[in-house]
Structure 1
Amino acid sequence: MQPPFPFTRKGLFVPHPHLLALFLLALGYALALAHGNLGSATLPTVLALLASGLLARRPQPWQQALGHTLFILLAIALALHWLPGFNAAKVIDNATFSPGSQPFTLYLNLDKPLIGAWLLLACPWLVLWRSRGLTTTLLCILPLTLAACLGGAWALGMVAWAPKWPEQAWLWLLNNLLLVSLTEELLFRGYLQGSLQRLLRHQGLALFAAAMLFGLAHLGAGWQWVYLATLAGVGYGLAYRWGGVAAAVLCHFGLNLVHFALFSYPMLALG
């Protein structure tokens, strides 16, 4: 019987971009520490993540289960910004990108990326990918995901056509690619969908379960975002199925980029 959290998988090419990602992450956190964006209160969180990672890499199943349970609890707390010591820098403050859109504020959050760092270190099998899946994602899955999600948002009156490229766009682009799309796809597709697929032994159930969890993660923004995020999660899940985490990140970032550049962002102002 295959364990739910294996160390390796066969038949796939294993790249090493995660080493570069970890180096850039470490450099970024060193700069944040130097500029006072990290406090000493983050130390217990970092130590707990290290402990959970060591447990997750142990050979005994009960130790693996304990490590992954601890990580999931920490990941929820990090994603919801519940843990102390992380002082996010506000880099965009109430910017209105197009007429009729809600103002947008962007923080460079330093807690959420630790989720991705843990996954890259404790679960190196997440970075395995199928190169042909990137072409399938670009030509088929991404266009269908764009049509379903942005078409649904248009039908719900949440967005309108609004092409733009504001001066803050490059900052948004880097943040969304590295701190949002990459981290979320490592967690929801590589970790959750991949693990559920091995536990349930059913690709379809795992895909839809991960998509629903992704949708519920947007519950604070309202039912419309839960619905649209679930649709998006199905698209990202299909991309992951065909091309691994790299394809899922490509699909996720592609949808977010088209939304940002061509439609009301983050959404039309109510009333």
Structure 2
Amino acid sequence: MNSVPNITLNNGVQIPQLGFGVFQIKPEDTAAAVRTALDVGYRHIDTAEMYGNEREVGQAVRESGIPREDIFVTSKLNNGFHGYDTALKAFDQTLSDLGFERVDLFLIHWPLPTVGNFVDTWRAFERIYAEGRARSIGVSNFTEHHLRTLHSETEIPPAVNQIEAHPYLTQEALRGFDAQHGIATEAWSPIAQGLVLDDPTITAIAHAHDRSPAQVVLRWHVQLGNIVFPKSVTVDRVRENFALFDFELSSGDMAQISGLNRDQRTGPDPETFDYIPS
């Protein structure tokens, strides 16, 4: 089994650098997918209230037989529950659905610029953290100015900023800002929903290393220091995505992949995205 390195967050909590994501996995398929990932060796699961599969993630963790403290579980606040009291209530529901006494990481899913109350939401997160019901707290899809607002108006810095990042959207400036302020960067959509896998530069590097394009891109993330959690319901793909720690990209490989940046998003722009589920 490959050994997945841990990254130490700014509060001392350790998070496995490679995890398993359950975005867009149907609830009825989630428990089996998570059990497969845990059997392969993953010890980090990333879910969210918005995904509708927290209950099944918790079920899979309990059925795995692996001690709860050995599995790092992240969830995220649904967009409809910004605000102090509503965030606290939503978090209670997350714990109930997962069947856990606490989560390892809880994130504000989106900053929601028009709603404009992520500061009050973050103060609820600070309470959750102080009560020990989340081992760490963070944000998702926050840009530099969102992070600066939190820094100036709240007490506890985010441990993590989970952002869209891949070779076509390297987010170099934002990752640098995160690092400067002790915030770990997590990359969602790490292979750009498959968009980068046919890129000639990536396929050539993959051929040279006798690896798949997905493995090369995920290894690029790892060497940049990003935390990644690819998603698949295919057993062979789940295993393949886990096999990242027995090869290394050269500095030239890394530069070529980073040079593919075109600031191209596959998901929404956090500066304008205000989706509130009904």
- TM bucket (normalised to shorter chain) is under 0.3
Higher relative contact order (CA 8 A, sep 6+): 1
**TM-score between both structures, scaled by the size of structure 1:** 0.28
TM-score (normalised: structure 2): 0.27
Structure ranking higher in strand proportion: 2
Structure with greater Cα Rg:
1
